[in-house]
Structure 1
Amino acid sequence: MKYALIALLLSATSAAAFPVTVKSCNRDVTFDAAPKAAISNDVNLTEMMLVLGLRDHMVGYTGISGWKTLDPEMREGVAELPELSAKYPSKEVLAGADADFFFGGWNYGMKVGGEVTPETLEPLGIKTYELTESCIFVGPKAKSSMDDMYNDLLNLGLIFGVEDKAKALVEGYKAQLAEATKGVDHSNPLRVFVYDSGEDTPFTAGKYAMPTALIEAAGGVNIMDDLDKSWATVAWEPVVERNPQVIVIVNYGDVTAEQKIAFMKGNPAFANIDAVKNNRFVVLEYVEATPGPRNIKAVEKLVAGFAAQ
């Protein structure tokens, strides 16, 4: 009888949770009920949905196979879900799946002024939640922090009526992070450069990109944290001038991490960079370097890489 009462109370609490309103970048979005036909874009956003146990609320995902491959853990997670678009979805793709929710972001499935935006999807009955890291594209935002990822999980928890699970996950991640960084000395941070892609000019992480937060948590400083953008292209000259002690390689796509490292080590222009001279490279998978459940593992990798002599 006691357990039946508890179940009844939990059911009543869950039923009474709606409507809920969450902040999505510069918008307030209200949900009268949990979405039943959700679509996520990109591997890291999809993992956020899966880690919250929301697969049964999903009708598919987009934007993964066009650029990236799924590791075994991800393949198992999305095994019963179709990939509706290899790259960015169109309005027709989302509407054709009878979606009622799209979890995307700016440059994570949406482009400012593009075909797929919260405003263009609203008339189709599709509500949108925007990845916090990407909000810099549509308005002011605080510098990247671990709270960006926590915020998305907590908001998804509210949207889908799994608030307690989201809170427990976030508290668990915070505890893991504290454990991973308990011996880190932040008084003399290592200079770190994030190398995503590009040879003529490098694509890198700026002030608002997740790697800046990961690097700082691990005891480093992103040498491009004065770049008032998230992910952007810069010239090689300031990279050489700022002389990173460690280079973080983002691994995805057709050019492997090994090839990126070989390019940097084989280019005479980079011969005097401390990280190149001392062979100090740390490889993060794309899904670790972008906001999502694997950010804690990314910090653990960075801590180990920064400590290696």
Structure 2
Amino acid sequence: MTFSTKSVRTAVFISGTVLITLLATCAQASGYPVTVQSCNRQVTFDHAPKAAVSNDVNLTEMMLALGLQDHMVGFTGVSGWKTLDPSLRNGIRQLPELSPKYPTKEVLLGANADFYFAGWNYGMRVGGGVTPETLAPLGIKVYELTESCIHIMHKPKVSMNDMYVDLLNLGRIFNVEARAQKLVNGYKKELATFQATLTPLKKTPKVFVYDSGEEQPFTAGRYAMPTALIEAAGGKNIVDDVQKSWTQIGWEPVIARNPDVIVIVNYGDVTAQQKIQFLKSNPAFSDITAVKKNHFVVLQYVEATPGPRNIEAIKKLAKAFRNDAS
């Protein structure tokens, strides 16, 4: 049997058309491409990342909560800040820490990363060497932590929705949308159920977040996650009017605004107890209500930053606010 050149070309054309159609159908069936909003950018994914890297303990826990370990090649920015939580080590199994603090482009390239989950001041700095713009030519796509977007754009005041949005977007990026939606729905239900059981407070407690620093305190302003946690627990951040995220301020406004409760963020070289002792031993703070009455509540770093521990953090704060009110 013989075939004409024309018939062979026709067969090849038809086969190619069928293959393209099949590939398009498969892509559509898998849910790709997907486009998500990341701060002021839209990022499109043609497939789920296969070599993801997360920065910081809270962002890594978001990945673990969604069961994305098999899509990861490592994490960064945990041991250098001493924020490791024992349960994280169990969750990440054999995944390596690629860099103790912020990674360089070379670190990410060395891991053959195709995705970087980080945030502004959570693994990236404005004008730094590792940003969505510097990583794009290397084939590494970036999704930015929503809470951190305030560093490069205007955004609404921080809320629990910032964390929920990140989980849902990660669900879309990695094609585990149903899993992400179930997780978020569970968090929302757990929080609503807990809040419904709370005894109403006679007075809204004034709360100060003490992260670190002796000459000037590093604290959480209007756009940092503790503000949302404090409000969900029934309190008010005394520096809610500071139009920043995590930031440094002076001690004068802290003394003048006289917090009823001080939240200590525990991580790093200085322990929570050492921070409390500093506040209690300094005569300048002796008239602060929280110091006089020993009204301190300790949150681990991973609880105070956006991530799966936020609901437990709210419960801890709510209990402390009510104990302090009694």
Q: TM exceeds 0.5?
A: yes
Question: AA paired with 2:31?
Answer: A
Partners of 2:202 and 2:292 lie apart in 1 by 24
Query: Secondary structure in 1 aligned to 2:67?
Result: coil
Partners of 1:15 and 1:191 lie apart in 2 by 52
Aligned to 1:102: 116
Matched, 1:203 2:222: no
Deviations 1:266-292 (A, max 9, x none): 111111101011110010000000000
| Contact persistence 2:54–2:74 (CA under 8 A) | yes
| Contact persistence 2:265–2:300 (CA under 8 A) | yes
Partners of 1:67 and 1:181 lie apart in 2 by 33
Q: Larger deviation: 288-297 or 183-192?
A: 183-192
Q: Name the CA shift for 1:96/1:291 in 2 (closer, same or farther; >3 Å).
A: same
**Which segments of 5 or more consecutive residues in structure 2 lack a partner in the other structure?**
1-25
Matched, 1:148 2:162: yes
Q: Which ranges of 4 or more aligned residues in structure 1 deviate by more than 2 Å? A: 12-16, 69-72, 184-188
Give the total of aligned pairs: 299
Please give the residue correspondences for 1:10-25 in structure 2 after superposition, counting only pairs within 5 Å. Answer: 15-25=29-39
Matched, 1:267 2:279: no
Q: Larger deviation: 143-152 or 65-74?
A: 65-74
| Contact persistence 1:180–1:303 (CA under 8 A) | no
Please give the residue correspondences for 1:16-55 in structure 2 after superposition, counting only pairs within 5 Å. Answer: 16-55=30-69
How far off is 1:258 after superposition?
0.3
Q: Name the CA shift for 1:85/1:73 in 2 (closer, same or farther; >3 Å).
A: same
| Contact persistence 1:186–1:220 (CA under 8 A) | no
How far off is 1:122 after superposition?
0.4
Aligned to 1:165: 179
Aligned to 2:147: 133
Aligned to 1:192: 207
Question: AA paired with 2:43?
Answer: V
Partners of 1:54 and 1:112 lie apart in 2 by 28
How far off is 1:161 after superposition?
0.2
Deviations 1:28-71 (A, max 9, x none): 00001000000000000000000000000000000000011422
How far off is 1:197 after superposition?
0.1
Larger Rg, first or second structure (1 or 2): 2
Aligned to 1:74: 88
Question: AA paired with 2:227?
Answer: T
| Contact persistence 2:209–2:262 (CA under 8 A) | yes
Q: Larger deviation: 156-165 or 174-183?
A: 174-183
Aligned to 1:118: 132
Matched, 1:64 2:78: yes
| Contact persistence 2:201–2:322 (CA under 8 A) | no
Query: Secondary structure in 1 aligned to 2:73?
Result: strand
Partners of 2:136 and 2:284 lie apart in 1 by 50
Q: Larger deviation: 249-258 or 187-196?
A: 187-196
Question: AA paired with 1:303?
Answer: A
Aligned to 2:18: none
> Percent of counterpart pairs with the same letter?
69
User: TM-score of the superposition, structure 1-length normalised?
Assistant: 0.94
Of 310, 314, 321, 1:299 maps to 314
| Contact persistence 1:14–1:161 (CA under 8 A) | no
What RMSD in Å do the two structures reach over aligned CA positions?
1.5
| Contact persistence 1:180–1:299 (CA under 8 A) | no
Partners of 1:14 and 1:241 lie apart in 2 by 59
Question: AA paired with 1:301?
Answer: K
Aligned to 1:220: 235
Partners of 2:233 and 2:195 lie apart in 1 by 6
| Contact persistence 1:133–1:209 (CA under 8 A) | yes
Question: AA paired with 2:319?
Answer: A
Please give the residue correspondences for 1:177-188 in structure 2 after superposition, counting only pairs within 5 Å. Answer: 177-182=191-196, 183=198, 185=200, 188=203
Q: Larger deviation: 67-76 or 228-237?
A: 67-76
Aligned to 2:100: 86
Query: Secondary structure in 2 aligned to 1:302?
Result: helix
Question: AA paired with 1:295?
Answer: N
| Contact persistence 2:30–2:175 (CA under 8 A) | no
How far off is 1:86 after superposition?
0.4
Aligned to 2:296: 281
**Which segments of 5 or more consecutive residues in structure 1 lack a partner in the other structure?**
1-11
Query: Secondary structure in 1 aligned to 2:157?
Result: coil
Query: Secondary structure in 1 aligned to 2:142?
Result: strand
Give the structure with the higher percent helix: 2
Deviations 1:184-235 (A, max 9, x none): 5377421000000000000000000000000000000000111110000000
